[in-house]
């Protein structure tokens, strides 16, 4: 009985959190947008969440591409199919690894920072202070960060894939001796713009929405104490990662699974 009550109240708690998250997002992006005033704020935030994540994206993309070049080569060469290394690297990156790994890195690098920043603003009464100055914190603080995440992450995912393809080239062609012309031309012949590139971009737009939404909501809804903020920051990374991986399976099934 006790556990049943517990389960019920937890479910209610989650449901009401979901409701609050929804209301927050609506309040931030649907009601009363002010493009003129917001654009500089969004650009500023793109710098914070996007540009500052660039280095980790570049380095990770390069290494993942190199690993794929190495693994792909050793597997393909035993079938004499090392000419297919290019499409193998490119398709894995564009369809899966680019959007997914970028989202995971984004959650760790930018999402956690967003949660901590907004949570601290709440704890230090900056959000209340805005409200008392008749400035809506949803519009002033939350909305620009949301749009910055939505714009940055798909771009980061494309950069990730591009660098990864170069990393694959570095190992497969420059080191292991696959023919460079083959690497590129087979890739070009195989990769389909709509099916592969666009689907990857759609994935990363959805991941961007989920990750940024979780990050700003966790900060906005954090209990304004040090424990509250540290818990919210951890939850941002955990929830975003799980949501991205789960959503990725669903999207893959929809996009590539059923022919």
Partner 1 sequence: MGNLVEIDNLTFYRGERVIYDNISLTIEKGKTTAIMGPSGIGKTTLLRLIGGQLRPDSGDIRFKGESIPAMNRRTLFKARRQMSMLFQSGALFTDMTVFDNVAFPLREHTKLSEDLIRTMVLMKLQAVGLRGAADLMPSELSGGMARRAALARAISLDPDLIMYDEPFAGQDPISMGVLVKLIKGLNDALNLTSVVVTHDVTEVMTIADYIYILAEQRIIGEGTPEQIRQSESPLVQQFLQGQADGPVPFHFPAQSLENALLGGA
Residues 95-114 that bind partner 1 (CB under 8 A): none
In sequence order, the 6+-apart residues with CB closer than 8 A to the CB of 140 are: 41, 130
Q: Using CA atoms in the order 138, 139, 140, 146, what is the torsion angle rounded to 10 degrees?
A: 80
Q: If binding is defined by CB under 8 A, does position 23 make contact with partner 1?
A: no
Question: Shortest approach of partner 1 to residue 67 CB, angstroms?
Answer: 38
- 8 A C-beta contact, residue 139 and residue 34: yes
Sign of CA dihedral 123, 129, 132, 138: negative
Considering just the CA atoms, what is the radius of gyration of the chain in Å?
21
- Alpha carbons 126 and 9: distance in angstroms, whole number: 32
Please select the residue that binds partner 1; options are 34, 74, 129, 225, rule is CB under 8 A: 129
Q: If binding is defined by CB under 8 A, does position 30 make contact with partner 1?
A: no
- 8 A C-beta contact, residue 160 and residue 93: yes
User: Which residue, chain included where needed, has tokens 């793109």?
Assistant: 46
Q: If binding is defined by CB under 8 A, does position 126 make contact with partner 1?
A: yes
| Pick 50 or 69: Cβ nearer partner 1 | 50
| Pick 135 or 223: Cβ nearer partner 1 | 135
Applying CB under 8 A, which part among 14-22, 131-139, 192-200, 205-213 lies near partner 1? 131-139
Q: If binding is defined by CB under 8 A, does position 131 make contact with partner 1?
A: yes
- Alpha carbons 12 and 18: distance in angstroms, whole number: 10
Q: If binding is defined by CB under 8 A, does position 128 make contact with partner 1?
A: yes
| Pick 128 or 234: Cβ nearer partner 1 | 128
| Pick 132 or 258: Cβ nearer partner 1 | 132
Q: If binding is defined by CB under 8 A, does position 125 make contact with partner 1?
A: yes
Applying CB under 8 A, which part among 13-21, 126-134, 156-164, 193-201 lies near partner 1? 126-134
Helices 112-123 + 143-169 axis angle, to 10: 160
Q: Which spans of this chain sit near partner 1 (rule: CB under 8 A)?
A: 120-121, 124-126, 128-129, 131-136
């Amino acid at each position: 009985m006790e556990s049943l009550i517990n389960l019920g109240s937890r479910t209610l708690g989650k449901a009401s959190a979901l409701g609050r998250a929804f209301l927050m997002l609506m309040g931030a992006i649907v009601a009363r947008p002010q493009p003129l005033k917001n654009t500089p704020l969004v650009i500023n935030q793109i710098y914070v969440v996007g540009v500052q994540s660039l280095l980790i994206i570049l380095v990770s993309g390069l290494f993942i591409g190199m690993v794929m070049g190495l693994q792909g080569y050793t597997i393909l060469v035993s079938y004499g199919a090392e000419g297919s290394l290019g499409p193998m690297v490119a398709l894995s990156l564009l369809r899966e690894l680019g959007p997914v790994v970028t989202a995971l890195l984004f959650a760790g690098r930018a999402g956690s920072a967003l949660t901590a920043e907004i949570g601290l603003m709440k704890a230090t009464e900056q959000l209340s202070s805005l409200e008392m100055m008749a400035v809506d914190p949803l519009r002033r603080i939350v909305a620009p960060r949301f749009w910055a995440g939505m714009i940055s992450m798909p771009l980061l995912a494309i950069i990730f894939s591009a660098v990864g393809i170069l990393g694959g080239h570095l190992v497969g062609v420059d080191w292991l001796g696959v023919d460079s012309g083959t690497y590129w031309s087979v890739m070009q012949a195989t990769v389909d713009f709509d099916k592969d590139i666009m689907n990857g971009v759609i994935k990363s737009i959805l991941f961007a929405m989920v990750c940024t939404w979780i990050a700003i909501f966790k900060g906005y809804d954090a209990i304004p104490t040090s424990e509250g903020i540290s818990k919210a920051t951890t939850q941002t990374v955990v929830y975003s990662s799980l949501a991205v991986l789960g959503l990725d399976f669903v999207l893959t099934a929809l996009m590539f699974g059923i022919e």
